[in-house]
Structure 1
């Protein structure tokens, strides 16, 4: 018995060590033309537009793939049916320059890492797309440990056979199973003929955090996403300018459970007969929408913003403002229940909507024309939400700033123990203290040290010229004395 136990322990340890040893960081750099092209270091990184595909093929669970800025393709051939397939346990990270030694050193904003379905490099707006990849990424079968982080995904064109799902999910498709994790990604300019310009999810799932979906076209359903019988989560995401016949941004279909938290929807449009400029809910699906902002979405027919045709959904701590459709910016164009039931509470709704705490008052955005939907410090949406309805674990707003910030100049109108959450995707932050120009040494106290500094420059200019008169004199001394003590 002891020898059997020893053998079992040795075998188990060998397997663990084998798995650990196989895990690696694989490096990719599209611009590299020297080195061994085997991905073992930045010097020998996988090269060219096909470098990411090569790294994915070689990867195993536990690997990380570090991808330098540049443009990559699912294939360097002209085959539209070759895709970048995510793998369980493999993290794919963009935003590197090609010299980093730590994941935290990358910056996907300043180092754009692009995956494009434009295989021939001949796209011109909506022209010359018929030779593009049907999908850029496939996440089917990949669990949450499959990570895509820090990429721009563009140029997918799913116009193929329905039976092969080649008419869905031009950016990413997740079908049958799987629930990958997508973070810090920008899906833009992907198009399909059936549904889900940016992504299509069927009988599977997915989590999308800090992503942007812009100018995707969903054909019949879901300009950004078409979800069918899935559980999907969207947090701190932005949906702008996406279009489909039904559901300009997200379609939640087939008993789907869709969670939307801290998101912004603006300028999305439904151009067909069934409406839902931002979100369409149907066939017993349930949308849970919290602390999100919907502005200037539109529909040709029903509901410029959200329509629920079947199932029970809820909207809390949100702003639905000036979405338009037939009849203009009416209440019905903010939310329409047409067979489904959507409860709305503690939200700002143009035209009003029945529900506890709802208001129809201008939320006072900082600059709506430029889509800056942060709240002015006099906004009635500040400290006006329901704390208990904020999802567990949600501690920041869409920008990553803290939630639950008390603005002392605003009367609390929400429910819960202060500080109370704001309505919408943005939490108003405590303004910085006013400047203290008399604090010449920057220690937050106007004292003898500042007076000594001023006197040392007396009669001259520069430091200590507090009234910008060009001369340090009695007027500046008066400012010092009036400000004496701690800065406030």
Structure 2
């Protein structure tokens, strides 16, 4: 609500000048939301909320700001390469949907949006990226709003528009642009498209400032601008033009038939005011043209090459401080509604071209403005320089004396001189001048400074040492890097430029000091200890260490050098020594560095006079690797002038010692290091020794029956092994000794029946005897192993197992295996049967061919710890049956060309008695080329896992274009009286077609031989012959692949709707009566609607169920209307509208009346009587037919 045009009036009432007032220039105040959106074609076109993310097009930025109000900052280009915004604009404007004037192409600016040009913006990241509005430079950053191709490649009717049919635009600013390319060349039956080529203001109050509007056309009025009265909402436009240059625009004054043919308002080469109060201040309006295409009584609009106003009593346009010159024909014209004597245009302090005299108003001039100052061409371009006044122009200092402050089109201050200049451009002939001050700063070369580190404003006083008629644009210091030659004082150059590009410069002093430390560079050196193990650094060493050091101001040869420490001995050879070296320049600035000085001991260790052999012992794995401790122990026999580095000792033995090294010393070469890594090669003999006994295996308690005879040494050694890490398998060297229960040696072999004295070892009642067996073995190094176990001699007979049936047994996969079992007896107890004690383990799987072992075992009765007695049977599962291949598909198989052939289980399968489904193992010979018509033979083979080969099966595949129905027969619903109905179907392709046949309800109607393809076949049926009912028809075409059927088509046939006549009815008051209608035939659902034409009804109306007078209706939508009860108000004509899904018939009318001669009560059932009459009538009707 606070937006608008403001100015300040300052009044003085102090002595000695007395009272006077000064008025500032007009200032446009737009109340913004504070939200700024950015437009720059070099931005990223994302959010528009920064220069980097700027939109590429104006309308995107304006729409974003229009959502809640805000500003749009638009980037321009330099004078030689302005940015032209000529994108296609698609927002519809100017009328409601369907009206001819609803068009696209214009830049639409809504309320509460301010659009500013003149920014340098992003410029691919190198631009100024302004953050304040006053940082822009309209003189140097040009943005052009071009409508020449914004309407789908054609010119916009208006380049920019404000307002709409039903709403005004307010609180809007357009500032700092060139506006061109509009062509209001009109659309039939529309008004606005003929007016306002550059800008169209529709009942709105925008401010357009600092804009150049040129190269626009209108077929009727307002070549540059049309400010229109909105008759739809009765709102006049209140356009404010400030600091604008409007030139080279044209209004043709043509006819816009028929929308405005009778409207004489035609003119305004630059501006057309239609009942609108436009304010024009500090503008230059030149070289615009108004055509003479249209003439009308009174000459309305003629002579308005500049401005034409059509006014009423509420129209108050104002032109101040402006130039209107060189427009053809004439400058300003007005016409009015009502009083022609009123001067509606207020003009003051202008230069307006007139044939004679001056334009009415205050302080107006009719003198040539003398514009076109070439001194400014290189600064702001020819286009602007053409409108800058010359120094002797009558526009100079001729504007309203009360106006102070503000700026002109380019941004030059008003006023230059005593008063402001008339027109959009203030003449500023004096560029900036600046006088430098000496800076109070002192530079330190330690910071490596240049002028980019300095603030240029430290070198002048903005109030006293700089003068600028035009605002300053840039203030900068000339590039300069400071060095030692600038000590103690040097000068810098300050360069200032105003917005027009004019520059001045000056120089100022600044102090320079030098506190930069020298830069030391150190290089490590290596020196050897002398004969005494000592070394001291020399001056030459220090020079070598610091070679490459420098200072910013002092020469290297003038630097002093010191180092700590300087002396070294054997203790310094373990690591490079850190030495601190310091250099100092002439100013006392120092720098230090730490360098590594390596002190070397080049004397190697010394071997002992006599070396001794070194013993190593093989590990359990039969190897030994020298350890670091071994090496250090051997190396410790050497000596060094400093210290030995025992931990670094190495040898040439890279592999472990092993059993092959036993017996003979192994010579190795030991490398001994001192702390400086000087080496001594010292030979040492190694004795390899084996101390580990062999490993005995397989020793376990043994048992034996006395009845089985003598026990031999071989039997006792069976299963016992011996292994040595070095000597390998020593089983053959094992010895076994037996000892009795008293630990006496027993000679081998052992006779169970003679222990040496003729007596058996087992004497009743004992049943067993325990011997101790001792096993021993020795390796080649004399290491012996020994282990003991128990040998039990039993005096009993073991059970016997007999396998029943075949052994081996053979079973065919996958048939069941039935084991015949085994029997067992116990001889120890009189051969009693212990078969029930047998444990059988049967692992046979008849589904998997292979050899299986069935195990039968039985425990020794009374001796649970003894091993079970075991017998076995071998069972072989075999597969000798070949698999079988089954072809599922028809043979031959006709296949559609172009369709992939699956060759899978849908075509053929394979099965094996043993393996089951082996379809996946089928091997196919041959292939089907589905893209080529022809016959292909596929051969299928398969072999099971046992190598059984199936019989080969073949399939012939014939690739054809299969017979298909492209048009299917269509069913119908028919009356028996309908005309013959033709069923039609079309098929194509196929392999050797033979003919076709139609089928009715599955019954063939006769085969027709016909090999045509494609082929359309027809079947004509007579509904009357078929009679009522449902009939299914389909066609089948035959070829080599068989019969191909079409879809089924169903014919539903029924008699047409017919009805018996509706009989008249006479009733008494309060009778209940059911009035039937008898209908037959029809297709689908039968619908009823009873209608009546009673007293007061103009025609038949549908009866509604419910109360009617004193009576009531029910069943109005059925075949029987119920009067329950009847009342005389129901009297009249009645009929029934009966319809099926296709036809409607009307039954009746019949009359309903009151029988005054029949009593209301006690009469016979009238409904029965009426029904009988109806049936009688029906019979008569049938007889008549």
Q: TM-score range by the shorter chain?
A: 0.5 to 0.7
Q: Match for residue 50 of structure 2?
A: 41
1:110 to 117, 134, 140: 140
1:168 aligns with 2:175: no
Q: Match for residue 402 of structure 1?
A: 415
Q: Match for residue 28 of structure 1?
A: 39
Shift of the alpha carbon at 1:205? 1.6
Deviations 1:203-231 (A, max 9, x none): 21210111111101122111111001111
Shift of the alpha carbon at 1:182? 0.9
Counterpart of 1:269 in 2: which secondary structure?
Answer: coil
Q: Match for residue 9 of structure 1?
A: none
Equivalent pair of 1:218/1:225 in contact (CA under 8 Å): no
2:322 to 254, 263, 279: 263
Shift of the alpha carbon at 1:31? 3.4
Equivalent pair of 2:289/2:305 in contact (CA under 8 Å): yes
Q: Cα 1:74–1:144, aligned 2, differ >3 Å: closer, same or farther?
A: farther
Shift of the alpha carbon at 1:28? 0.9
Deviations 1:240-289 (A, max 9, x none): 2111133111111122321111111222112xxxxxx1111221699xxx
Equivalent pair of 2:143/2:177 in contact (CA under 8 Å): yes
Q: Match for residue 253 of structure 1?
A: 310
Q: Match for residue 213 of structure 1?
A: 246
Q: Match for residue 57 of structure 1?
A: 63
Counterpart of 2:140 in 1: which secondary structure?
Answer: coil
Mark the runs of 5 or more structure 2 residues left unpaired by the alignment.
1-30, 77-82, 93-102, 122-128, 230-236, 254-266, 292-301, 375-385, 434-463, 466-1185
Distance across 2 between alignment mates of 1:85 and 1:191: 19
Counterpart of 1:119 in 2: which secondary structure?
Answer: coil
Q: Cα 1:278–1:229, aligned 2, differ >3 Å: closer, same or farther?
A: same
Q: Match for residue 228 of structure 2?
A: 202
Counterpart of 1:331 in 2: which secondary structure?
Answer: coil
Shift of the alpha carbon at 1:430? 12
Equivalent pair of 1:348/1:423 in contact (CA under 8 Å): no
1:181 aligns with 2:207: yes
Q: Match for residue 224 of structure 1?
A: 270
Counterpart of 2:155 in 1: which secondary structure?
Answer: coil
Equivalent pair of 1:117/1:154 in contact (CA under 8 Å): yes
Of structures 1 and 2, the larger Rg is shown by: 2
1:237 aligns with 2:283: yes
Q: Match for residue 191 of structure 1?
A: 217
Q: Cα 1:25–1:242, aligned 2, differ >3 Å: closer, same or farther?
A: same
Q: Match for residue 96 of structure 1?
A: 119
Distance across 2 between alignment mates of 1:164 and 1:107: 38
Q: Match for residue 149 of structure 1?
A: 175
Q: Cα 1:45–1:383, aligned 2, differ >3 Å: closer, same or farther?
A: closer
Equivalent pair of 1:374/1:428 in contact (CA under 8 Å): no
Equivalent pair of 1:53/1:75 in contact (CA under 8 Å): no
Counterpart of 2:195 in 1: which secondary structure?
Answer: coil
Equivalent pair of 2:317/2:346 in contact (CA under 8 Å): no
Equivalent pair of 2:321/2:348 in contact (CA under 8 Å): no
Distance across 1 between alignment mates of 2:420 and 2:49: 48
Structure with the higher strand share, 1 or 2: 2
Q: Cα 1:285–1:189, aligned 2, differ >3 Å: closer, same or farther?
A: farther
Deviations 1:38-80 (A, max 9, x none): 2121111112xxx111112222343111111222236356986
Query: Is 224-233 or 22-31 further displaced after alignment?
Result: 22-31
Distance across 2 between alignment mates of 1:317 and 1:95: 29
Deviations 1:353-408 (A, max 9, x none): xxxxxxxxxx896889966546649x7x99999xxxx4976667966433893xxx
1:87 to 110, 118, 121: 110
Distance across 2 between alignment mates of 1:348 and 1:26: 43
Q: Cα 1:285–1:169, aligned 2, differ >3 Å: closer, same or farther?
A: farther
Distance across 2 between alignment mates of 1:42 and 1:427: 30
Distance across 2 between alignment mates of 1:202 and 1:103: 31
Mark the runs of 5 or more structure 1 residues left unpaired by the alignment.
1-19, 123-129, 271-276, 287-307, 324-329, 336-341, 351-362, 406-420, 436-442, 445-488
1:279 to 319, 332, 339: 332
The within-5 A match list for 1:300-319 is 311=343, 313=345, 315-319=347-351
Distance across 2 between alignment mates of 1:200 and 1:104: 30
CA RMSD across the alignment? 4.2
Q: Match for residue 72 of structure 1?
A: 85
Taking structure 1 as the reference length, the TM-score comes to 0.57
Counterpart of 2:194 in 1: which secondary structure?
Answer: coil
Q: Cα 1:320–1:88, aligned 2, differ >3 Å: closer, same or farther?
A: closer
The within-5 A match list for 1:373-412 is 373=389, 376=392, 390=400, 400-402=413-415, 405=418
Q: Cα 1:104–1:319, aligned 2, differ >3 Å: closer, same or farther?
A: closer
Deviations 1:98-142 (A, max 9, x none): 2222211212221111111111799xxxxxxx9211111111155
Counterpart of 2:193 in 1: which secondary structure?
Answer: coil
1:119 aligns with 2:176: no
Equivalent pair of 1:404/1:422 in contact (CA under 8 Å): yes
Distance across 2 between alignment mates of 1:225 and 1:402: 27
Equivalent pair of 2:89/2:151 in contact (CA under 8 Å): no
Distance across 2 between alignment mates of 1:181 and 1:209: 8
Q: Match for residue 465 of structure 1?
A: none
Matched residues, number: 328
